Amino acid sequence: MSATHEPGPRTPHGILRDGDQVQLTDPKGRINTVTLAAGKQWHGHKGYLQFDEIIGRPEGIVVRSTGGIDYLVFRPLLQDFAVRMPRGAAVVYPKDAGQIVAMADIFPGARVVEAGAGSGALSCFLLRAVGEHGTLSSYERREDFAEVARKNVEKFFGGPHPSWKLTVGSLEDAITETDVDRVVLDMLAPWECLDAVGKALVPGGLVCAYVATTTQMSRVVEGLREHGSFAEPYAFETMVRSWHVEGLAVRPDHRMIGHTGFLITARRLADGVTPPLRRRRPAKGAYPEPAENELTRGNGNTFPAEPVNVTDGESEIGSPPA
C-alpha cells in the first residue's frame, strides 16, 4: 500500500507520529484511545500529558502525567480498534473474526464477498487477510451503517483500501460478482441470500454465516442442506476464557463473554452434482416423520431407510479434518 494510507493505526511499527492513534493504559489497566496532535495535551483524571513527549518516540514507552500517573503507550491492535470504534450495527468479536478468517479459509489474493458490512469491523479483518492482491466486496443495506463502515475502514487503514468495494444494497438484490472464492454473511437472515451466494461462488468456494441465535443457526443449516448447491454444513461456536495468573493464584477469570454467536460453513458443490448422501441418520424425532415413499437421496429431511455404518474416526462431510 502506498504512503498515502498513513498515518493510521494500520501502521504496524515505527516511530509514533503526529496524527497517529495510540492507547494510553494506566496502572489499573484502563485504556484511553487518543490521536496524537503536536503541541496539544491529553487530560486524564489526574493531570495531563504533552503529546510532544510521545511524538517522535517508539511504541512501548511510559509517559508520566503532571499528576504522577504512568501511562503505557501503544498503537491499538486491530482487535482493540474493532471493539472501540464508532458503531452503527453491532460488530463481530475479535475471537469470531479470527475464526472466520481461519475457518472460512480467507487467504491472500482471495475474492471475497461480505454482507452486511455493519460497522466495518469484520471488513478490516477480511481486508487484512485478502491483502492488496485480493478483493473484498462488502454489501450493506443501510446507507447510514455503510457510512459508518466506510469511515471506520478508512480510519483503520489510513485511507481508502485498494482492495475494497462497498455497495449500499441488499446482497441478494445487488450482488454483481461471480467466480467468488468466499462469501461471509453477518446478518439477521442469511438463509435469504443462499440463492445469490450459490450463484456467486465458484465450485469449491465456501460460504460462512455468523449468527447470534440457535434458531438462526438451524435455519441456515437446513437452508444450505435444502438448497442443493452445498455440501454438508459445519456448525460450531467458540468460547474464550481468559486466566488470572499471579503466583500460586492461577485460575480462570471469574468473568467471561459467555456468548457471541455461531458460525456455519459450507462448500459449494460443482454444478449438477447431487449432494452426497448424509452418512449419519438423524436422531429419531429430529425431523417430522416423512412417509416411507418420501424418503429419497439427498439433503434436508431425507435419509436412507437403512442405517449406514460409519467407522470410528471418519469425519462428517463438511466438518474439518481431525
In this structure, what C-alpha cell is assigned to residue 47? 493531570
Among 170, 229, 260, 299, the residue binding ligand SAM under the rule CB under 6 A is 170
Among 51, 139, 164, 262, the residue binding ligand SAM under the rule CB under 6 A is 139
Among 16, 55, 112, 121, the residue binding ligand SAM under the rule CB under 6 A is 121
Output 54 or 200, the one with its CB closest to ligand SAM: 200
188 is in an annotated binding site: no
Output 116 or 158, the one with its CB closest to ligand SAM: 116
Asked if residue 231 lies in contact with residue 224, where contact means CB atoms within 8 angstroms, the answer is no
Per CB under 6 A, does 42 bind ligand SAM?
Answer: no
Per CB under 6 A, does 172 bind ligand SAM?
Answer: yes
122 is in an annotated binding site: yes
How many amino acids of this chain bind ligand SAM (CB under 6 A)?
23
Asked if residue 91 lies in contact with residue 122, where contact means CB atoms within 8 angstroms, the answer is yes
Closest C-alpha to 141, from 210, 194, 188: 188
Total H helices, total E strands in the chain: 7, 15
Binding mask 144-163 for ligand SAM (x = CB under 6 A): -x------------------
Stretch of 56-64, 127-135, 183-191, 293-301 contacting ligand SAM, by CB under 6 A: 183-191
Q: What is the DSSP letter of 136?
A: E
Binding to ligand SAM (CB under 6 A): which residues in 262-301? none
Per CB under 6 A, does 110 bind ligand SAM?
Answer: no
- Where does 60-170 have alpha helices with state H? 78-84, 94-103, 121-130, 143-157
Which CA distances in Å does 250 have to 29, 241, 258?
A: 19, 13, 20
What are the two backbone dihedrals, phi and then psi, of residue 58, each rounded to the nearest 5 degrees? -80, 165
Closest C-alpha to 164, from 143, 148, 149, 179: 149
Annotation: binding site for S-adenosyl-L-methionine: 119-122, 140, 186
Residue numbers of the site for ligand SAM (CB under 6 A)? Answer: 89-92, 115-116, 118-122, 139-142, 145, 170-172, 186-188, 193
